[in-house]
Amino acid sequence: MLPVKLNPEYFINRELGILAFNRRVLAQAEDERVPLLERLKFLCIFSSNMDEFFEVRVAGLKNQIKYNSPHIGPDGLLPKQALATVSSMAHEMVELQYKILNDVVLPQLAAEEIRFIRRGDWNDTQREWIAAYFFRELMPILTPIGLDPAHPFPRVLNKSLNFAVELEGKDAFGRNSGVAIVQAPRALPRVIRLPREIAGCDHGFVFLSSILHAHVSELFSGMTVKGCYQFRVTRDTDLILDDEDTTDLRLALQGELAHRQYGDAVRLEVADNCPAEMSSFLLGQFGLTQEDLYQVNGLVNLVRLMQIPDSVDRPDLKFAHYTPSLPKELLKEADIFKAIRKQDILLHHPFQSFNPVIEFIKQAAEDPQVLAIKQTFYRTSADSTLMKSLIEAAQRGKEVTVVVELLARFDEEANINWAAKLENAGAHVVYGVVGHKTHAKMAMVVRREEDKLRRYVHIATGNYHQRTARLYTDFGVLTCQEEISEDVNDVFAQLTGLGRASKLRHLWQSPFTLHQRMVKAIQNEADIARSGKKARIIAKMNALLDPDVIRALYDASTAGVQIDLIVRGVCALRPGIPGVSENIRVRSIVGRFLEHTRIFYFYDNGAEHIHLSSADWMYRNFFRRIEICFPLLDAKAKRRVFKEGLEPYLKDNTNAWEMQQDGSYALKPNRRASFTAQQFLMQEHGQEILPDV
């Protein structure tokens, strides 16, 4: 048995693990096998991921340092130590990102007639068109702010595009502050498409920053512009709500959202032409240090380039079009309730369509035999068909109850808006349990059939978001099995009412039983291995951080359990430590789709239990969220999940990154014919339409 307290060297720091994942995302932009416009997308995804990393994780480290927090994670790093290492790694990765953009992606796009025309390369015709655009579209809405005692440094929105302008001379009032700030309104596009005849190529674009640089002097009549430098500040976006004093969560959250854009600054990005004096001035305005400065060779916000692939009609430079399939059970039977009564229906997104989930709620809304619908929402789209069906159901007089998680990070405003629309339609809207985010993915329909009421449920690993369902891998199950349905009903009763937690028949639920049952299942495999029998664990998830689970896995490894962990993102466990984790392998799959499924397999003397879950192996999922983990009781579904959700990912030798003992990752060497899990599943389930070349 392992000692009670494990060596901190056995654990990987959470922030460093997140950065390691983002480095794997950045590697997709380097990969020549990835279509060119998709490589540009991966550069944008990396930028978006890093934005959130600074808004949440770096902000958290800075707050720990600011308030002298005594908290030290299992990795043993002090917040100051972690922040210093994070800063070093992040600077290196951002420098690499811009090198890939400037030295590889942009030149190759230019060769394909997709050009971002720099200010120094404009010809007379382009200069004339751009000037007209500036005076017509930009000049009327720009507000330059000269800095003086009457005009202090403006409040700069989180992640907004701004320009610091160095000036010389006096204005109409005799003022000479030397510096002005121009904020680019968020309504303005950051990339402007030029007409083909003006661009001189099929797809020509110019950056908003270039247009402002060229014409900024028009904003300061009679003065000389000595320099114009774009900058962007990233802020702490954490929302602080007092659980004890909050009487109306939605009202309190609406008040807090307005302040999110003005949290403490955590990062300053400037263009590489910004002189040291101006950078120091800006750092001082935001209370930042040199360590927080990121000087980049190009746009300070690459996320805005995400629009380019969609606006360029070049299918040969994108992933081949993919059409997900429908389950065979639903091709034969249009009545979804009749189909579910025949057998459980397993859905594997995005390889299979999300439409059956939409149809499940749509048919429930329209069916006169349906009396009630209950559903949880953590994230959904602004144009959610599911939400519209629930509103229609409520308007038809059905009992509709929706548990909306208002504190889903960065989706709070959208969820507040949907909550108001649902209430206006007559639905019951609740916000779960204060202090515990409702992260469980479940829907229940109550239908009158002959002389009884039957419950139909949908439970899943992913959100009810019809757009991300085309991009994220997830499993869902439609079933009317009585005991599963009763468990789901009991969880809904906890969320909407009051009372003690009931004992569930099959579901493991956080914050009550999920952690205990998961650790026990791992320990059971260890006991089996110690008895000399075969023991195996395979787990696929987004993140592995919980110290108790990691300790249980280490202990199982020492007992001889063969453990395969497929962890897309951060993994705090170190494989291959002699005498500790020699029987553990950790891999991460990064590819076309975002791996999002949570699958837990335990051999258990040949019983081969498989559970699907909304929860990762993290402390927050086990103890600060409402989560469910459900077994696959249908033998056919269980075989399918193993064959599709685990086996291909263990076999992948193209997009699989293997974690080394030191915590670094290396692409698995391709010693045989290339095999890609996601490609295999697309071929199994859908129809891939190859582009014309």
Q: pLDDT band at residue 246, thresholds of 50, 70 and 90?
A: very low
In total, the chain counts a number of residues equal to 693
At the topology level, CATH places domain 322-506 in Endonuclease; Chain A (3.30.870)
> What residues contact residue 437 under an 8 Å CB cut-off, 6+ apart?
378, 405, 407, 408, 624, 625, 626
Query: What confidence tens digit (pLDDT) does each residue in 113-147 have?
Result: 999 999 999 999 999 999 999 999 999 999 898 88
Residue 71 has pLDDT above 80, yes or no: no
Q: Are strands 625-631 and 508-510 parallel, antiparallel or unpaired?
A: antiparallel
The pLDDT score that the predictor gives to residue 690 is 37
Work out the burial of residue 40: count CB atoms within 10 Å of its CB; fewer than 13 is exposed, 13-18 middle, 19 or more buried.
buried
The pLDDT score that the predictor gives to residue 394 is 97
Query: What confidence tens digit (pLDDT) does each residue in 520-550 have?
Result: 999 999 999 999 999 999 999 999 999 999 9
Instruction: Indicate the annotated binding residues.
Output: 49, 379, 409, 472, 568, 596
From 50-59, 64-73, 388-397, the region with the lowest mean pLDDT = 64-73
Residue 618 has pLDDT above 70, yes or no: yes
Assess whether the region 8-317 and the region 322-506 belong to the same CATH fold. Answer: no
More confident residue, 434 or 44: 44
Whole-angstrom distance, CA of residue 184 vs CA of residue 147: 17
Residue with tokens 């006096």: 170
Measured N-to-C along each axis, helices 412-425 and 385-395 cross at an angle, to the nearest 10 degrees, of: 20
Q: What DSSP line would sit under 367-413, residue for residue? A: -TTEEEEEEEESS--TT-HHHHHHHHHHHTT-EEEEEE-TTSTT-HH
Work out the burial of residue 172: count CB atoms within 10 Å of its CB; fewer than 13 is exposed, 13-18 middle, 19 or more buried.
exposed
Structure tokens at 429: 């809207």
The pLDDT score that the predictor gives to residue 244 is 45
Decide: 574 and 11 in contact? Cβ < 8 Å. yes
Query: What confidence tens digit (pLDDT) does each residue in 478-494 have?
Result: 999 999 999 999 999 99
Residue 252 has pLDDT above 60, yes or no: no
Instruction: Indicate the annotated binding residues for Mg(2+).
Output: 379, 409
The pLDDT score that the predictor gives to residue 260 is 66
Query: What confidence tens digit (pLDDT) does each residue in 382-429 have?
Result: 889 999 999 999 999 999 999 998 876 777 788 888 999 999 999 999
At the topology level, CATH places domain 8-317 in polyphosphate kinase like (3.30.1840)
DSSP state of 273: T
The residue ranges of DSSP E strands in 592-693, in sequence order, are: 594-595, 599-602, 609-613, 625-631, 656-659, 665-667, 687-689
Average pLDDT estimate for 326-352? 95
Which percentage of the chain shows pLDDT scores above 90? 81
Whole-angstrom distance, CA of residue 425 vs CA of residue 365: 13
Single-letter code of the amino acid located at 71: H
Work out the burial of residue 572: count CB atoms within 10 Å of its CB; fewer than 13 is exposed, 13-18 middle, 19 or more buried.
buried
The pLDDT score that the predictor gives to residue 411 is 76
Decide: 362 and 385 in contact? Cβ < 8 Å. yes
The pLDDT score that the predictor gives to residue 198 is 97
203 carries an active-site annotation: no
The pLDDT score that the predictor gives to residue 593 is 97
Average pLDDT estimate for 445-468? 95
Q: pLDDT band at residue 691, thresholds of 50, 70 and 90?
A: very low
Whole-angstrom distance, CA of residue 502 vs CA of residue 93: 49
Instruction: Indicate the annotated binding residues for ATP.
Output: 49, 472, 568, 596
The pLDDT score that the predictor gives to residue 381 is 86
From 104-118, 166-180, 371-385, 502-516, the region with the lowest mean pLDDT = 166-180
Residue 253 has pLDDT above 70, yes or no: no
Domain 509-689 matching CATH 3.30.870.10: the answer reads yes
Whole-angstrom distance, CA of residue 254 vs CA of residue 333: 45
From 132-146, 176-190, 283-297, the region with the lowest mean pLDDT = 176-190
| Mean of pLDDT over the chain | 92
Catalytic residue among 213, 215, 348, 439: 439
DSSP state of 157: P
Residue 231 has pLDDT above 80, yes or no: yes
Domain ranges of the chain: 8-317, 322-506, 509-689
Residue 652 has pLDDT above 80, yes or no: yes
Average pLDDT estimate for 5-19? 92
Whole-angstrom distance, CA of residue 454 vs CA of residue 484: 12
More confident residue, 79 or 254: 79
Whole-angstrom distance, CA of residue 201 vs CA of residue 263: 43
From 105-109, 258-262, 499-503, the region with the lowest mean pLDDT = 258-262
Q: pLDDT band at residue 668, thresholds of 50, 70 and 90?
A: confident
